[in-house]
Chain A
Amino acid sequence: MSLAPHRDEAGDRLGMWLFLFTELLLFGGLFLLYGVYLARTPEDFIRAGGELDLVLGTANTVLLITSSLTVAVAVSALQKGARSLTLGMLGITVLCALIFLVNKGFEWRAKIDHDIYPGSKRLLAGEGGESVFYSLYYLTTGLHALHVLLGAALLGWVGFRIRGGRRDGEGAVLENVGLYWHLVDLVWIFIFPLYYLIL
């Protein structure tokens, strides 16, 4: 047996999928709490959820879905050897991620300005369900925003590697980072209706 490095792309992909399961379950805990507390205090949840900014939420959804498309195009482009298209698509993806975070920042800022954050006077004085709703809102979207940030960093990193001309198994690396990005998108696809639409 030689010590020459060999790549096992199927193994890499399997490892990534397993990791993505753990991420889904991490968010699953928060969704579980959401479900239980929604069932207990539906009126409070409806009142609190009605105050979220539907326009910004929708804009962010469009941004993430677009970025999922561009990352998928980037993966295909690299397979076909179109490096500049790959890099361009990755650039758009990262840009979408950054705009998403800025939007999220505006949303949070507006809520905090209205004295809505965990432990604020307004929430302490109001109904329990409202306080729970906003705690979950901040925790879930905050954890998601961290993932957006991490995903964007990974996309940037793989982009620089490709630009620097790295060849060995670049496709598999990009594909795995792309999978991660789809997960970030997928989690948002659950957050958006639960917090913005159904209430």
Chain B
Amino acid sequence: MNMIKRFKVSFSKVFKKLFKKKGACIGIYGPPNAGKTTLSNRILRDWVGGEETMGSVSHIAHETRHAKRRNEVTIETNGHTISLDIVDTPGLATKIDFHDFMEQGMSDSESKKRSKEATEGVIEAVKWLDDLDGVILVMDATENPYTQVNVTVIGNMEARNLPLLIVANKVDLPDADPGVIKEAFPQHPMVPVSALEGVGMDSFYEALAKQFG
């Protein structure tokens, strides 16, 4: 990004802060099966209550195939209150092979349908990158963090000069090593959580308020 464009982005951020634009729009990104929808559901459970969820979860990749936006989620932490619009996005991927879904027990037609919808979901997720005020990047703490999806999302936020919070998810699993994620991307804040078990969520909300409040 050139100097003029960066100045425009910075000015726009200062302007928004001065006039307190309501509900910064934050996208939840990551590769398939990293736990984005589980985290989104956990946020809604903690701050919206009731039965509302962002979407269903499954062990089969690309369960979320359409972005879902929830406006004005109000989070209170450490005496601060922030209101965010949260977008749960489909998992980003560079390849989608319907045979992978068949291996999970889906029929040929079901697999092809999911594959088609998943490709549309990835396109939708990429388009959302242009309309966000920041990103929560969910990584699976049991896997190598140097995936192209992670590198691309982080690069996009850095080039746009927008805030990013990395969530090292699945710390309840024995193979989890959030330290590897911190080491890989030391320039961004990282919080270890288990969205499924609700571990580390207080630290997550504090980091969320600090980064996007």
> Are A and B genuine complex partners?
no
